[in-house]
Structure formats: C-alpha cells, structure tokens
Amino acid sequence: MLLQRIMRDPSRCRIFCKVSDMYKNEILRMLRSSGSYVSGQELCRELGISRTAVWKNIRQLEEDGYEIEASAGKGYRITGFPDTIAEEEVASILQTERMGKKIRYFSRIDSTNQYAKRIAEEGAEDGTLVIADEQTAGKGRSGRHWVTPPGEAIAFTLLLRPPLSPDRISMVTLVMGMAVAEAFRSLYDLPAGIKWPNDIVTGGRKLCGILTEMSAEVQKVHYIVIGVGINANMCAFPDEISQIATSLKIETGQDVNRAQIIARTMECFERCYAVFEKDGDLSGLMDDYNALLINRGKVVRVLDPAGEYSGTALGINRRGELIVRRDDGTECSVYAGEVSVRGVYGYV
C-alpha cells in the first residue's frame, strides 16, 4: 500500500505535518501524475482512507482553487490549477529527498527569513522550507527592504543545519545562486547569470536576490536560513529600482508558474549541495559557477570597507572568493561575507 510505503520512508515525512493536508497533498500528487482520471476506489485503496474522506479532500482542493472534474464510473481528473505557491501545490510537484520535505506556507507574513529563524530556535529540522505569497517586512542585503507583492513575487527561505564553521556559510549561498540560475535556464531557456556573489541577473538587470543569515558560535553553526526573493510576475517596479530590476514575466513575455520555479530551484539546490557536501568546498562546482558568472573578465569596483579598489574579476576559487586582478598585476581574493562588487559603470 502506498501509504505504508510512505510511512516507512522518512524523506516523505512532510505529509505528517497536518492530517487534513496529508491526503490533499497525496491526492493532488496522484491526480497530477496520472494526467487523466483516477477512480475514487483507487484513491481509497492507495491512501487507505474512506470514500467520504476522499470526497472531503477533493472539496478542500476545489476550495483552494483547483478545478476537479468528477465523472461517474471514471473518477476524478484535474482540469484547472490555481496560481498558488501553497504547500500542497509545491509539495505535489517537488521531487527532492531532503530540501522542502517539510513546507510551511503563509499567504502573508513579515519575512520568511524571520519566521525560519523563529522555528529554527524551536528545533525545526534541516531542509524545512518556508514560503510566503506576501511579505510585509521582507529583508534585503545591507539592511534594505525587499518588496514582495502578493500573487506576483516568490519569497521562500530554506532552513539548513550544516556541520560547518561559520566562515564556510557564504559558499552555501553561492550554491543557492547557482541553483536559481540553473532553474531559470532549464525552465525558460533564459540566459540567466550570476553577479557575484549571488544576485541572479539577465540583460544586466536583477531577477533574484539571496539573503543568508545564521546562528553560530565561533567554530560551529547552529543553523542557517537562506532567503530567496524572485521577481516572478511583476510588470513594473518602484522608481528607485526600475533601472536595475526585471522580472521573469518581463523577460519571457509570459506569466510564469511560481510553484514550478520553487520546486525546480529546490531540486537544483539539492543536487549541487550534495556535491558541495561531498567536497567540503566549491571545487566540484566552481567551473559551473564561473560559467554563469557575468562579472568574469569584466572590470569591477570592490567595495571593501578597508578601501575601495578596481580590477578585473577572474572568477571564484574553491572557497567562493572572487579573484580580482588589480591594475598593478597583483591578485586579491575577495570574501563574499565582507564586501560586494559593482560594475564600474553601474549595477553590473
């Protein structure tokens, strides 16, 4: 029985978060993967629940905006999907073992990073994914505000408990940057690149920003939260960022499926993170990262608090530091946690 298999498989334990959602998620997954009718009998048998329970869960899915056709003798079939990034939608398409095995979704929250830190303090497990449709106090890098309009943006935060020292955490952020760029490329064939360390850009404009925060002692990280903000279906931006921001909708000319983007990003991240964990650094990923790096070979301005300087960005090393050759020929490695870089003529 499917349910018994799931119960034995710890990687699927996200379905035990809430009993009602447990069946909603699995029914959605079954209807989605069938692509056609699934009989009520089959749903009862696979999930080990009554016909009434199946019907109640189908009604719940309809209330969530799914269009489900019920046909006598054939069963149930999905005919329409809501534009949602709620737990059941993301969980029903997510193909990961570890990342997002537990999902917490909010239609509105202050900040997914803030929430992830709160639940991390209470013991939430590695791989927990927090998603919000709207953030009222979204945080950007350097204390900036990050705007997350409902129905248009993507905001999520992944909680990890890596057995690393704090100085290695910036590498994990670079891995997430790669994952986002690869997700955009694979889903939309979009020439997305990375502005070091982890802005995802296309055509010189920003599509996505990443903010990692951590709780740590001198040698030991308790947890990190990696927050990802993606400009998905926005058509316009506030004046102050209109010259440097763009969205997937603007770039692809179509509305994008936000749940699919979250799922694909988690899948790419899980794959890249496994390589990072095995190597203990970015040696197995740096060639791919450097191929995505838009600063490579370009003159950059390094905004080092100890003194700004310019040079040519050569690429990252295995610790994720940006190697910059200064005009006098000397090479510096720039650590992502301390400084940022700008193009000499603007954002990139």
The binding site for ligand BTN (CB under 6 A) comprises: 111-113, 135, 138-141, 144, 146, 155, 157, 199, 209-211, 227-229
Q: Quick one: 57 or 247, whose CB is closer to ligand BTN?
A: 247
* Distance from C-alpha of 129 to C-alpha of 91, rounded to nearest angstrom: 11
Contacts of 160 (CB under 8 A, 6+ apart): 126, 127, 172, 223, 224, 225, 226
In the chain, beta strands by DSSP E: 67-71, 75-80, 102-106, 128-132, 153-160, 193-195, 199-202, 205-216, 221-231, 299-303, 309-316, 322-326, 331-334, 340-343
> Smallest gap, in angstroms, from Cβ of residue 138 to ligand BTN?
4
Q: Quick one: 155 or 316, whose CB is closer to ligand BTN?
A: 155
Task: Give the three-class secondary structure for 160.
Answer: strand
Q: Quick one: 143 or 305, whose CB is closer to ligand BTN?
A: 143
> Smallest gap, in angstroms, from Cβ of residue 262 to ligand BTN?
11
> Smallest gap, in angstroms, from Cβ of residue 188 to ligand BTN?
20
Q: Quick one: 27 or 234, whose CB is closer to ligand BTN?
A: 234
> Smallest gap, in angstroms, from Cβ of residue 73 to ligand BTN?
46
> Smallest gap, in angstroms, from Cβ of residue 148 to ligand BTN?
6
Q: Quick one: 140 or 151, whose CB is closer to ligand BTN?
A: 140
* Distance from C-alpha of 79 to C-alpha of 121, rounded to nearest angstrom: 41
For residues 100 and 266, the answer to whether their CB atoms sit within 8 Å is yes
CA dihedral over 130, 136, 140, 143, signed as positive or negative: negative
Q: Quick one: 211 or 316, whose CB is closer to ligand BTN?
A: 211
> Smallest gap, in angstroms, from Cβ of residue 142 to ligand BTN?
7
For residues 84 and 107, the answer to whether their CB atoms sit within 8 Å is no
> Smallest gap, in angstroms, from Cβ of residue 268 to ligand BTN?
17
Residue 275's identity, in one-letter code, is V
Closest-by-Cβ residue to ligand BTN is 209
For residues 214 and 169, the answer to whether their CB atoms sit within 8 Å is yes
Task: Give the three-class secondary structure for 15.
Answer: helix
At 304, list the tokens.
């080092």
Q: Quick one: 138 or 311, whose CB is closer to ligand BTN?
A: 138
